Structure 1
Amino acid sequence: MQLPPVFIDITPEDQAQELRAYLKSLGAEISEEKSPKGIEDDLHKIIGVCDACFREEKEDEVETVLNDIVSIMVLIPMERAENIILAFCEKLTKAPGQRLSEVCLRALWLLFQSLDERSPMRYHVYYHLIQIAKQTDQVKSVFRDIEHLKQQFAQSPPSSEQLQKLYRLLHEVLLKSNQSEQAAKVMIELLGTYTSENASQAREDAIRCIVSALADPNTFLLDPLLSLKPVKFLEGELIHDLLSIFVSENLQSYLNFYKNHKEFVTSHLGLNHEENMRKMRLLSFMQMAETNPEITFQSIESELQLAQNEVEPFIIEVLKTKLVKARMDQSARKVYTSSTMHRTFGRAQWQQLRDLLHCWKTDLQGVQDHLKTITAAQLEMMNQQ
């Protein structure tokens, strides 16, 4: 979201007096006279009734009022501006209706960009921005990705507690706007803010993270969750057992778990059994493809418990996910796989990658030696001529 800077030709005191008069004309309970206590007290009183401008029919007039307040606010020394900024943020999060909330979103974004990058108040403004983005379904205009978010606060890093509060809100808002991949990354960042000493306090966050990952139809790489300290703290519990099945076991393992813990899966966690089956079939096929470049339809039917007429549609679904690169031979009733995403990436996968890179390096060296031989031969021919 890009907004132009606001330039005002009059003094902040005169500007505050004009705002007082304007808000009073809209019915706000405020005096037109300047406060004898100075501009900060003026701002407190103006912000206290600034929602009177929401009665205006024209959105640009509302935005002008809010931007005027921002232009005065950023001139207040930061050590005395905290309560003023928080009061302004609270007012704007309560704006009624979609269009007014969008105006408030732009005004708060202007405030966020206008504050010094070292100001700790930027965190509070950003948190309220996300709250308004939740109401307006405009989170994309505020949040790009985790890396960009970290850059925004590079000069004034929030505390761990503040980050946890922000990440929880962001996760909720991103899920609501169907950005499940970004939501998963935010939740992993949230769990990463906990240490070994306080990992036990992250229980609810860890469970929420696991459930979100399992429920997301587009999340298949679940292995990294197991290394997170708050998730490790859940070892021995049913939720951790279920995650482990999705990480490295097959469809039958899931069905056995579901048979014994139906209520836990559907009622307690709120997961959909049919969607779980779909994901486990995809994950199980990936596991088959890791070691079998040639898979028969019959083995797919058996391993994934599919009817004969369900195999081809399933393979097409697998290819659409791009988790596996393969071609299907209907006449031979076989699938030929060329590559697959690994469900887990442990020591064996690192060794495989090392061997692959070593072969690649050797091949490149061979090409380089061959080119040197050709170049030398050509130079020799030229010298002979």
Structure 2
Amino acid sequence: MQGPAVFMDISLEDQAQELRKYFKSLGAEISEEKSPKGIEDDLHKIVGVCDVCFKETNEVDIEAILNSIVSIMVSIPLERGENLILAFSQRLTKAPGPKLGIIALQSLWRLYNNLETNSPLRYHVYYHAIELAARVGLVQEVFKGVEQLKKEFENCPPSNEQMQKLYRLLHQVLKEQNSELASKVMIELLGTYTDENASYAREDAIKCIATALADPNSFLLDPLLALKPVRFLEGELIHDLLNIFVSEKLSSYQTFYNSHKEFVHSQGLNHEQNVKKMRILTFMQMAESNPEITFDEIISELQIEEKDVEAFIIEVLKTRLVRARMDQAARSVRVSSTMHRTFGRAQWQQLRDVLLLWRANVQHAHDAMASVAAAHLEYAAQQQKAQ
């Protein structure tokens, strides 16, 4: 979203009066006369009826009018700025239809970018911009990611409660458009809770788990277990289901599903998609300890037919979670590397062993080269003596 604010070549007071006359002509309940209380009161009256401009048939005129309001708003000190900007933002979010919604969003974004970066009012404008962007399908034009969001507010961080509210909104509007980004937002939301209030995050934690499980591109789910609000769910079905996706095989999921079908569907999860993900996760787990996996093992563990094995292996390789080569003649898959589903003490120990072996090999190579160099020097010395 881009675009500078529009400033008319007349005084702010005269600009406000022109806006009063314009809204009056559209039937708004507003006087044409300037307020004796000054420009801020004029602006309050104008903002109170500004949505009347959506009756206008000329979209260019609507954009010009909204930008004129923005230009006044960012040019004067506001004693009641929060109420004024909230009212303006809320009215713009009600712009009817996608075309007017986009115009309103552009004006709202201009207001956001023209406010000082240390202004606490920017949070309110940004929140309503997300609401409006969601309506017109442009959320990712405004929200570029969690890290960028933090930079937006680094000069005036919103309160913890405000960020939680914003993260919930972002999760809600992103979950149907970008499940991976929605998962990141929800994980960020859960990270705002402390030991003292983690127990109040139950609903957020459940949504976080369900979103991550439903995301077709999210396979490494182990970090969720460390989140404080998720730990408060231990013993509940959703936590049991998460544990299955973190470390169990397809057979464990099938057993869980057969006992809790209604629960799985109540979380908005698709059973067939769950099975597809669990097959990939199960194969990853098999690949961790087996450099060669036979087709028969795949058929048995993953509960698929032989005719589907090759297509499944191709699907796994596309995820880049496993590096392997398929040998159709030998009816096997030779694994060269795989991503670990979990990374606990055992994986750290394995990494330590690999690094120690690597260091020993490097030392051995260094010692061998030193021996070769010493032998070469000794031979050269002997040759000189012989001469």
Check whether TM > 0.5: yes
Q: Is the 8 A contact 2:5 2:70 kept in 1?
A: no
Name the SS of the counterpart of 1:35 in structure 2: coil
> Residue 190 of structure 2 contacts residue 227 of structure 2 at CA under 8 Å; is this kept in 1?
yes
**Pairing 1:74-223 to 2, within 5 Å after superposition:** 74-177=74-177, 179-223=178-222
Q: Distance in 2 between matches of 1:338 and 1:39?
A: 71
For the 8 Å contact 2:118–2:155, the answer to whether it is kept is yes
Structure 2: distance between partners of 1:109 and 1:43? 19
Change (3 A) 1:42 1:368: farther
* Deviation of 1:43 (Å): 0.7
Find the partner of 1:338 among 333, 336, 349: 336
Q: Which of 266, 291, 294 lines up with 1:293 in the alignment?
A: 291
- CA distance in 2 between counterparts of 1:6 and 1:272 reads 49
1:24-81 per-residue CA deviation (whole Å, 9 max, x = no partner) reads 2222221111011111110111111111211222222111111110111112325421
Instruction: Give the distance between the partners of 1:292 and 1:44, measured in 2 at CA.
Output: 71
When structure 1 is superposed on structure 2, of 327-336 and 317-326 the one drifting more is 317-326
Residue identity matched to 1:46: I
* Cα displacement (A) at 1:219: 1.1
Which residue does 1:244 correspond to in 2? 243
Kindly state the Cα deviation for residue 361 of structure 1 after the two structures are TM-superposed: 6.2
1:2 positional shift: 2.3
1:226 alignment counterpart = 225
Aligned partners of 2:6, 2:65: CA distance in 1, in Å? Answer: 11
- SS for the counterpart of 1:176 is coil
Measured at CA, do residues 363 and 104 of structure 1 come closer, stay the same or move farther in structure 2, by a change above 3 Å? Answer: farther
Change (3 A) 1:324 1:47: same
One-letter code aligned to 1:102: I
Asked whether the 8 Å contact 1:78–1:119 carries over to 2, the reply is no
Q: Deviations over 1:257-312 (max 9, x none)?
A: 1122222112x223221111111111000000111111000111111122222211
Q: Distance in 2 between matches of 1:44 and 1:367?
A: 79
Q: Quote the residue 1:26 is aligned against.
A: 26
In structure 1, the partner of 2:16 is 16
Q: CA offsets per residue over residues 336-355 of structure 1, 9 Å max, x none?
A: 11111111111222333344
AA matched with 1:229: K
Quote the Cα distance in structure 2 between the aligned partners of 1:224 and 1:99: 42
Paired with 2:31 and 2:366, the residues of 1 have a C-alpha distance of 83
- Deviation of the 1:358 alpha carbon: 5.3
What residue identity is the alignment partner of 1:34? K
Q: Report the residue type matching 2:21 in the other structure.
A: A
Q: Is the 8 A contact 2:288 2:340 kept in 1?
A: yes
User: What letter corresponds to residue 340 of structure 1 in structure 2?
Assistant: T
**Structure 2 stretches of 5 or more lacking a match?**
none
AA in 1 matched with 2:151: Q
Q: Which residue does the alignment assign to 2:66? A: 66
Secondary structure of 2:175's counterpart equals helix
Query: What code does the residue aligned with 2:299 have?
Result: E
CA shift, 1:109, in A, is 0.6
Contact 2:7/2:68, CA 8 A, preserved across alignment: no
Identity %: 67
Rg larger in 1 or in 2? 2
What residue is the counterpart of 2:280 in the other structure?
Answer: 282
Asked whether the equivalents of residues 5 and 111 of structure 2 are also in contact (C-alpha less than 8 Å), the reply is no
* Helix, strand or coil at the partner of 1:37: coil
Q: Distance in 2 between matches of 1:113 and 1:363?
A: 57
TM-score (norm 2): 0.91
For residues 30 and 240 of structure 1, what CA distance do their matches in structure 2 show?
57
2: CA distance, partners of 1:88 / 1:364: 67
Distance 2:197 2:296 in 1: 50
Change (3 A) 1:227 1:12: same
- Tell whether the 8 Å contact from 2:317 to 2:324 is kept in structure 1 after alignment: yes
Partner deviation per Cα, 1:102-136 (whole Å, 9 max, x = no partner): 01111111111111111111111000000001100
The one-character-per-residue Cα deviations of 1:154-197 (angstroms, maximum 9, x if unpaired) are: 011111111111001101111232x1111100000001111111
Q: Distance in 2 between matches of 1:270 and 1:247?
A: 19
d(CA) in 1 for partners of 2:172 and 2:336?
A: 38
C-alpha RMSD over aligned residues: 2.2
- Give the corresponding residue for 1:313: 311
What amino acid does structure 2 have at the position aligned with 1:117? T
Q: Is the 8 A contact 1:70 1:107 kept in 2?
A: yes
- Matched residue SS, 1:331: coil
User: What code does the residue aligned with 2:298 have?
Assistant: I
- Partners of 2:124 and 2:44 in 1: CA distance: 18
Q: Residues of 1 paired with 2:104 and 2:257: CA distance?
A: 47
Shift of 1:6: 3.0
The 3 A distance-change label for structure 1 pair 295 and 22 is: same
